[in-house]
């Protein structure tokens, strides 16, 4: 038996060695799906299939990195091309859907009349752009939320609908309002040479539909396609995969419909349920042996998910024994909830049986608003902790400032970045100057702000002195601070073509005197400067690229970073995160806070069966993050969103059979576990 297969169970070996035609791997929580995927890649290479013909897609950079590292360990240094994914025309690819779509667009987007040096807007950038558009149209931001507007537009793009298609069918007032913003948003993004996450998939599919030769090129390269977390695919991702796999049908998808929890992002778990219909010849393999959790936790989680109607049938089992029962804890308030958690962690750490370090614990909650009381209890203990997904590293103010400089240097059409950095650090360009420029009072009214800036920019970097005298408004302000700033950026742009990525960023930081700006004499200032230094460290990974390519690859990676990419394995830090952020993670001990109707399940699911089923799946995911012990905590009263009101225990608690739980009242009454 091959060394690649020796560590696998029977079902995993079947999943790995079935290499011809479509295959669906239904992988329950903790059943070794990543192991199956990585061993399958290694097995394909062992069978003399070229790495350049392999495409493996995931949903997070963290998962992609783990997959590359595992393949590298299995195969050795000779597989460096696939283990260390480089965005090349000839190499294999292991990465996220969005990174892959970006790769396609860097090669093909000129066929749509767009430039290859596009920047990628993250969710925060997109929201800022939409807010500006709503202000332009005098839309009341109190009455109509920008976030809701962004979600509505994102939903349409996930369905592969552009603004024109959407507006053709818009009937209600709000739909027409969304359509108006959507159309203007498309214009702004094109003018700024920017794409958002949804654009990456939308335009990749558009290219494949419009240019069959482009699709054929990628079909012929990627003859073997592997997809992780298939249950989380949306319509755009589903379509992209279907088109790519059409030629050779060597499509391997791994997933678990029981863990589909991203419906709000457009994920459609029915994609995995209809795989057999899409590919009647497909082989189906079930991975049901769990290597993570004790049996009592698995059975409790199964009892919750079993109430769902639309699901596959499977029965997870483990060799780890029955283990501890699920602890159901009643507290009087969210304050007591926090105190119980910290006291219980202290108790477990003293015993040293199931956990030895704060990093072995995770506290999960349905909404970020719940974290306040928990944080207060943790702070009183003097513990270090990390809040996963609360504020991504790349969205911190100081980091975002430097990134915006880099983006504008790379793409001078990126007006969102220009707006952010034009007076950071302060250089005497106030809001009035910006507004005057933006309103184009002295400009040709037929031109957009982007067009005027472009003209100004072109004058700055290309005009000779004689031309400057006749260049219009742009050179009326040639001695202004704005003009001086753009000249400064022009110099940086030239430098970026010569310097390694990290070296260029160091020079940029020095030239704008950002260290002095960040270090304001406070601890927060010290932290800001440390974050800037960490950004330089991250950038150094791209120094092996040619200068301009390195900067592009660096900006692309950080734009596509997800919240879970910030998760580290650093010891001595307690993990706090939402249930959604916990997907794909595991911990010896897990506390699920707020096990109350209105939170788990969320109030929005009360009258929607599809959403209620999603809430059950979310609870299932939370329970199955635990290896040794799981707690579900509810309060009798909770202060949330400014209201103090009675709470009702989650209906999911009553789904768990009595023999699988231990119950405890925390506070003034009992302190011992009671059998129920």
CB 422 within 8 A of CB 485: yes
The count of other CB atoms within 10 Å of the CB of residue 446 is 7
Measured CA to CA, the distance from residue 168 to residue 186 in angstroms comes to: 16
CB 390 within 8 A of CB 405: no
List residues bridging with 58 in a β-sheet: 96
- Note if 671 is an active site residue: no
Cα separations (Å) of 583 from 232, 293, 538, 623?
11, 15, 25, 11
- Note if 229 is an active site residue: yes
DSSP letter for each residue of 521-584: SSHHHHHHHHHHHHHHHHHGGGTTS-HHHHHHHHHHHHHT--GGGG----TTEEEEEETTTTTT
Chain mean position to CA 666? 37
Say how many residues make up the chain: 676
**Choosing from 11, 199, 228, 398, which is the catalytic residue?**
228
Record the tokens describing residue 316, joined without a space.
């997870």
Measured CA to CA, the distance from residue 40 to residue 94 in angstroms comes to: 13
List residues bridging with 197 in a β-sheet: none
**Choosing from 259, 501, 552, 624, which is the catalytic residue?**
259
Measured CA to CA, the distance from residue 362 to residue 430 in angstroms comes to: 45
Phi, psi for residue 289 in degrees, rounded to 5: -80, 120
Query: What letter does residue 236 receive in the DSSP assignment?
Result: H
Query: What letter does residue 233 receive in the DSSP assignment?
Result: -
DSSP letter for each residue of 274-334: THHHH-TT-EEEEE-B-SSS-HHHHHHHHHHHTT-SS------B-SS-S-PPEEEEEESSH
- Note if 34 is an active site residue: yes
The string over 26-44, giving b where at least 16 C-beta atoms fall within 10 Å of a residue's C-beta and e elsewhere, is bbbbbbbbbbbbbbbbbbb
The string over 358-387, giving b where at least 16 C-beta atoms fall within 10 Å of a residue's C-beta and e elsewhere, is bbbbbbbbbeeebbebbbebbeebebebbb
- Per-residue H/E/C for 595-613: CECEECCEHHHCCCHHHHH
Tell me which residue has tokens 């997904």: 389
Record the tokens describing residue 314, joined without a space.
């499977």
- Note if 543 is an active site residue: no
Measured CA to CA, the distance from residue 492 to residue 505 in angstroms comes to: 10
**Choosing from 108, 196, 198, 229, which is the catalytic residue?**
229
**Choosing from 14, 17, 18, 34, which is the catalytic residue?**
34
**Choosing from 13, 157, 311, 625, which is the catalytic residue?**
625
CA angle 53, 221, 242 (to 5 degrees): 100
- Note if 228 is an active site residue: yes
Record the tokens describing residue 540, joined without a space.
């150094």
Phi, psi for residue 58 in degrees, rounded to 5: -130, -175
Active-site amino acid positions: 33-34, 228-229, 259, 625
């Amino acid at each position: 038996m091959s060394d690649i297969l020796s560590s696998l169970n029977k079902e995993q070996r079947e999943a790995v060695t079935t290499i011809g035609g479509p295959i669906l791997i239904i992988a329950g929580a903790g059943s070794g799906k990543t192991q199956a995927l990585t061993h399958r890649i290694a097995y394909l290479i062992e069978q003399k299939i070229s790495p350049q013909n392999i495409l493996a897609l995931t949903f997070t950079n963290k998962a992609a990195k783990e997959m590359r590292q595992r393949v590298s360990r299995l195969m050795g240094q000779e597989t460096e091309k696939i283990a260390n994914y480089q965005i090349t025309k000839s190499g294999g690819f292991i990465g996220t859907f969005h990174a892959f779509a970006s790769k396609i667009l860097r090669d093909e987007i000129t066929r749509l009349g767009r430039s290859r040096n596009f920047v990628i807007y993250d969710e925060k950038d997109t929201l800022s752009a939409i807010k500006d558009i709503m202000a332009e149209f005098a839309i009341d931001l109190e009455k109509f939320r920008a976030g809701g507007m962004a979600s509505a537009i994102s939903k349409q793009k996930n369905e592969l609908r552009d603004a024109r298609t959407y507006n053709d069918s818009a009937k209600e007032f709000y739909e027409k309002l969304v359509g108006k913003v959507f159309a203007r948003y498309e214009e702004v993004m094109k003018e700024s040479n920017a794409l958002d996450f949804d654009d990456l998939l939308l335009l990749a599919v558009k290219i494949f539909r419009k240019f069959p030769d482009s699709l054929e090129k990628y079909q012929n390269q990627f003859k073997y396609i592997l997809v992780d977390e298939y249950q989380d695919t949306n319509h755009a991702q589903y379509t992209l995969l279907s088109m790519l796999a059409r030629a050779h049908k060597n499509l391997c998808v791994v997933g678990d419909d029981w863990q589909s929890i991203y419906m709000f992002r457009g994920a459609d778990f029915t994609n995995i349920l209809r795989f057999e219909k899409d590919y009647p010849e497909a082989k189906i393999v079930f991975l049901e042996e769990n290597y993570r959790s004790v049996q009592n936790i698995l059975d409790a989680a199964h009892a919750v998910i079993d109430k769902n109607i639309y699901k596959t049938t499977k029965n997870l089992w483990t060799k780890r024994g029955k283990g501890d029962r699920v602890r159901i804890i009643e507290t009087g308030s969210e304050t007591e909830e926090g105190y119980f958690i910290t006291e219980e962690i202290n108790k477990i750490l003293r015993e040293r049986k199931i956990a030895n370090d704060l990093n072995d614990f995770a506290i999960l909650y349905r909404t970020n608003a719940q974290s306040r009381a928990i944080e207060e209890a943790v702070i009183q203990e003097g513990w270090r902790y990390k809040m996963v997904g609360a504020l991504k590293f790349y969205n911190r103010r100081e980091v975002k400032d430097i990134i915006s400089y880099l983006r504008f240097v790379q793409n001078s059409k990126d007006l969102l970045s220009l707006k952010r950095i034009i007076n950071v650090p302060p250089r005497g360009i106030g809001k009035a100057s910006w507004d005057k420029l933006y309103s184009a009072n002295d400009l040709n009214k037929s031109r957009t702000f982007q067009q005027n800036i472009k003209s100004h920019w072109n004058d700055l970097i290309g005009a000779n002195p004689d031309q400057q005298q006749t260049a219009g408004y742009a050179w009326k302000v040639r001695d202004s601070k704005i003009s001086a700033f753009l000249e400064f950026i022009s110099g940086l742009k030239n430098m970026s073509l010569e310097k390694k990525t990290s070296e260029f960023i160091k020079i940029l930081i020095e030239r704008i005197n950002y260290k002095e700006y960040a270090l304001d004499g406070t601890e927060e200032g010290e932290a800001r400067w440390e974050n800037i230094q960490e950004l330089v460290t991250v950038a150094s990974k791209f120094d092996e690229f040619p200068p301009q390519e390195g900067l592009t690859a660096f900006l692309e990676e950080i734009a596509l970073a997800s919240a879970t990419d910030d998760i580290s394995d650093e010891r001595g830090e307690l993990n706090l995160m939402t249930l959604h952020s916990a997907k794909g993670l595991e911990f010896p001990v897990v506390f699920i806070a707020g096990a109350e109707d209105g939170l788990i399940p969320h109030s929005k699911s009360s009258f929607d069966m599809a959403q209620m089923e999603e809430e059950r799946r979310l609870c299932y995911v939370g329970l199955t993050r635990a290896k040794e012990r799981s707690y579900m905590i509810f309060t009798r009263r909770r202060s949330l969103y400014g209201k103090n009101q009675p709470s009702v225990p989650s209906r999911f608690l009553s789904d768990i059979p009595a023999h699988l739980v231990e119950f405890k009242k925390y506070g003034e009454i009992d302190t011992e576990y009671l059998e129920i």
